[in-house]
Structure 1
Amino acid sequence: MDNSYAESAGRAVLEMMQREWEPLSQGELDQRLDQAVEDILEANLLSKIQGDAAPINMQLSQKVQEDPQMQNQIQTEVIGITVPPVEQESEAQPSGCPENSTVQYIMNLLQNSNSKYNQSRMAGRARLSLSHTVLLSLTLLSKRLSYRSVSTTFRLEKGNIHRIFFSFCERVNILQDQKITWPTGINAVENLPPLSSLLRKARGLEEKGVPRVLGVLGHTRIPIRLPIGKQDVESMVPELKRMKREAHPDSWLNLELVCNHKGRLMHCRISKGSDLDRASNLRDKLKQHPEMVPPGTCLVARVGYPASAQILTPYVVGRGSRENLYNRSLEAHFEVLDQAVADLKARFQRLRYLDMGNYERAKAVVLTACILHNVFIDMGDVRKGQVEREAGPQEDEEEGDCDEEGVRRREAIADLLYKELESGTT
């Protein structure tokens, strides 16, 4: 009994430390010890070099007094080491960082953001300039690099990189309402694709009641590390294996998305894997605010999502020609969402597995990637990813909640499409 209490107390302490210092580990402690030894050796080396270079220093001291900015240059020439600068009062692009339009664009977006990380930081911890913060954070998001390798590149300890990265995520998250926006006005109905591309006279069907597609609703899963206390060490499997039905629900996040025909995100909602809700909150919001889906438009979603007047879903598999034509018309739009998800994960490869057991921080990273996905689209920087079959169960999905109005609209649209097919206009 005493051992179980001690084990529970130990896990509680580890979880508390992890919330503050994640992803600190034994390796992190070893690196700090190594860094401390390196600092001592470097200090001894500097002392020796400074002693050997006394005549040089005497000649340069006067110049340093006249021009303090020469100090870093002199240090580089004498020691032969160039260190990335810590944050200065000015947020100008550091001389050690190459010109990069992407970094500059994101810097401009963040200039006016407010964050508690901007006002306070732990004493003695270096803080990078905004340009280096953006560069470091984009590096962590876009590649599955370890904190150790990044710490070597930027000459910072892992714990400090961790804090810098999450300060960046927090500042980007503030931009959610600015960058992930639902289309309104003329933008909501302009250049929308027809529901069906299988019929030659698809455009003429709009007058008969076949809508255009405002957006595609769907979801993807983001694997994360199980929190301490929920891990079963004996049954752990490699992270690259596909998630199975029996996987622990806390081993992933659900990312609910709506994208337009260009792959730009109009809506995103991040929840725990144990959350089985399929867009019921969004459905209720659309009912309360019907202007979000203007007349003559709709959202489309796969089987399992709620069908309503605003959201069209397919029939279950195994119906007749009329239902199959309707289903095939919707399927082309699902490919748009699949491609958007592939693009998101191709650009931000860290989303393939988030090695963190803290839900709120994992959520902040995923939201950061979604916001930046739209930022890159706005910049005209599109990266095409390879569409993969979604991990987890996809077969035998049951039909989601269907209200009467949604059923009637689906039936009416299916009838219109099939009549057009029978008339020989395909």
Structure 2
Amino acid sequence: MDVNEYVLSAGRSVLDMVEREWQPLSPGELEQRLDQAVEEILEADLIAKLKTQPPPPPPPPPPICVQLLQSQANVQPQVLQTTTSSSSPEDEVPAPRELLDTVDGAAVKYITDMLQSSKSRARMAGRARLSLSHTVLLSLTLLSERISYRSVSRRFHLEKGNIHRIFFSFCERINTLEERHIRWPVGKEAVEALFPLCSREKEQEEQEGVPQVLGVLGHTRIPIRLPIGKYDVESTVPEVKRMKKEAHPDSWLNLELTCDRKGRFLHCRISKGSDVDRGVALRDKLKQHPELMPSSSCLVARAGYPLTAHILTSYSESHGPREELFNQTLEEHFHILDQAVANLRARFQRLRYLDIGNYDRARAVVLTACVLHNVFLDMGQVVQGEVEKEVAIIQEGETEVDEEGVHRRNVISDLLFKNVDSGST
């Protein structure tokens, strides 16, 4: 084959390739392409119109009789579902986005993860295909807001009785975490928690006999409903005024607390209002386990608590400037506890008045709030409450004293007074 034939063959190959790539579409292919383009244009135009139009109004509600029939038809399957525990996690209804936006989503996730990692992983009663995060959200709503179960029922679209079971099941689960989150510091942790008794650091350094403080001991009262009566949860009358007018002592719970300088609860004891043994259980525990108190440390408390070597209380009757100075020194620390209680009430509004006539359930709710108080502190979330004067603890007369406690208080008050006296001369 000569050169001309090679050139002719190459030219034909190029021509075939050009014809294959640039050959016009057949009439059928062209019609199909045009139909597809028109459909795409019409679809885009329809979507654009739908985005600009307002949403259609909701359909009118059915007649009352139909609503009653529907509610009766829906309640029975829901109750049956709460008695079973075989539902798989993928069947659970997640928390609605609009509800999560009303509270701190980080708190819901933190507490949800905390419950999932706890030893007790049994499904909570009454959840009715409700996710754990949804359960936490619902329970935090009931604790944080003073709203009725009926209002929560409308908000979460759940049957009222089911919400009741969900909430108390949540409280029971949180109560099992008490020892993990309300802990008495020991060892190095206790030493690091100590803070000066006197705010004037120079005076503290100059006096070896003045102890450091591990915590502040005190109490508050949580009004509750007696089985014989019921208060109005929406009433604006201060709960404390109603509590004082109530003759029955069990119309409130005594919440005894010990907190550190950051307001974290180290000790929590909940008892009926008729329980007058204030601080006795803690006194006995410290006496049996003195290692719980670091060397040269103490708790401070208002008058009305036992005066011991571990618990220093204010003088119930001031006899002179020495006693007044000691009381003023302790009073600086009592504000720590008062503020912690105010923060607890501010975050958990339901504690202002518990519309619960059952002592065990009321106690479970209060303990849940105390545990979650520390949990939120661990998260770095603090709700600053206002200390109300009418809620402040009123000093009472001394109850129980021991000789060692009397001697230690007198020695410390003498040291504080001598230091102030020497500084003024």
Amino acid at match of 2:250: D
Query: Which of 183, 186, 201 is the matching residue for 2:185?
Result: 183
Q: Quick check: 1:256–1:269 contact (8 Å CA) kept in 2?
A: yes
Name the CA distance, whole Å, in 2 between partners of 1:181 and 1:172.
Answer: 15
Count of residue pairs brought into register by the alignment? 343
Q: Taking structure 2 as the reference length, what is the TM-score of the superposition? A: 0.74
Amino acid at match of 2:305: Y
Match of 1:109 in 2: 114
Q: Quick check: 1:213–1:298 contact (8 Å CA) kept in 2?
A: yes
Name the CA distance, whole Å, in 2 between partners of 1:40 and 1:92.
Answer: 22
The correspondence of residues 110-149 of structure 1 with structure 2, limited to 5 A, is 110-113=115-118, 118=123, 126-149=128-151
Q: Quick check: 1:226–1:357 contact (8 Å CA) kept in 2?
A: yes
Structure 1 unaligned blocks of 5 or more: 1-32, 43-85
Q: Provide, for residues 18-53 of structure 1, a one-character-per-residue CA deviation record: whole Å limited to 9, x for no partner.
A: xxxxxxxxxxxxxxx9964343799xxxxxxxxxxx
Deviation at 1:284, TM superposition (A): 0.5
CA gap of 1:129–1:232, structure 2 versus 1, over 3 A, is closer
Q: Provide, for residues 311-361 of structure 1, a one-character-per-residue CA deviation record: whole Å limited to 9, x for no partner.
A: 000112332111111111000000000000000000000000000100000
Identical pairs, percent: 60
Q: Quick check: 2:92–2:129 contact (8 Å CA) kept in 1?
A: no
Match of 2:167 in 1: 165
Match of 2:205 in 1: 203
Deviation at 1:389, TM superposition (A): 2.6
Q: Taking structure 1 as the reference length, what is the TM-score of the superposition? A: 0.74
Q: Provide, for residues 175-223 of structure 1, a one-character-per-residue CA deviation record: whole Å limited to 9, x for no partner.
A: 0000000011111111522111157422332xx2101110000000000
Name the CA distance, whole Å, in 2 between partners of 1:290 and 1:192.
Answer: 16
CA gap of 1:91–1:220, structure 2 versus 1, over 3 A, is farther
List structure 1 runs of 4+ shifted beyond 6 angstroms: 230-233
Q: What SS is found at the alignment partner of 1:118?
A: coil
RMSD: 3.1
Q: Please tell me whether residue 330 in structure 1 is matched to residue 330 in structure 2.
A: yes
Name the CA distance, whole Å, in 2 between partners of 1:232 and 1:349.
Answer: 16
Q: What SS is found at the alignment partner of 1:380?
A: coil
Name the CA distance, whole Å, in 2 between partners of 1:334 and 1:163.
Answer: 38
Q: What SS is found at the alignment partner of 2:357?
A: coil
Q: Quick check: 2:135–2:170 contact (8 Å CA) kept in 1?
A: yes
Q: Quick check: 2:144–2:349 contact (8 Å CA) kept in 1?
A: yes
Match of 1:214 in 2: 214
CA gap of 1:40–1:212, structure 2 versus 1, over 3 A, is closer
Match of 2:302 in 1: 302
The correspondence of residues 24-423 of structure 1 with structure 2, limited to 5 A, is 36-39=68-71, 88-90=88-90, 94=94, 96-97=96-97, 98=100, 100-113=105-118, 118=123, 126-190=128-192, 192-198=194-200, 200-205=202-207, 208-228=208-228, 240=239, 242=241, 243-244=243-244, 247-391=247-391, 394=394, 397-423=396-422
Q: Quick check: 2:252–2:272 contact (8 Å CA) kept in 1?
A: yes
CA gap of 1:40–1:214, structure 2 versus 1, over 3 A, is closer
Deviation at 1:94, TM superposition (A): 2.9
CA gap of 1:424–1:336, structure 2 versus 1, over 3 A, is same
Q: What SS is found at the alignment partner of 1:382?
A: coil
CA gap of 1:38–1:116, structure 2 versus 1, over 3 A, is same
Q: What SS is found at the alignment partner of 2:196?
A: coil
CA gap of 1:120–1:388, structure 2 versus 1, over 3 A, is closer
Q: Provide, for residues 133-162 of structure 1, a one-character-per-residue CA deviation record: whole Å limited to 9, x for no partner.
A: 000000000010111111001101111000
| Bigger Rg, structure 1 or 2 | 2
CA gap of 1:231–1:94, structure 2 versus 1, over 3 A, is closer
Amino acid at match of 2:248: H
Amino acid at match of 1:404: E
Amino acid at match of 1:143: E
CA gap of 1:129–1:209, structure 2 versus 1, over 3 A, is same
Name the CA distance, whole Å, in 1 between partners of 2:183 and 2:135.
Answer: 26
**Structure possessing the higher relative contact order (Cα contacts under 8 Å, 6 or more residues apart):** 1
Name the CA distance, whole Å, in 2 between partners of 1:232 and 1:169.
Answer: 23
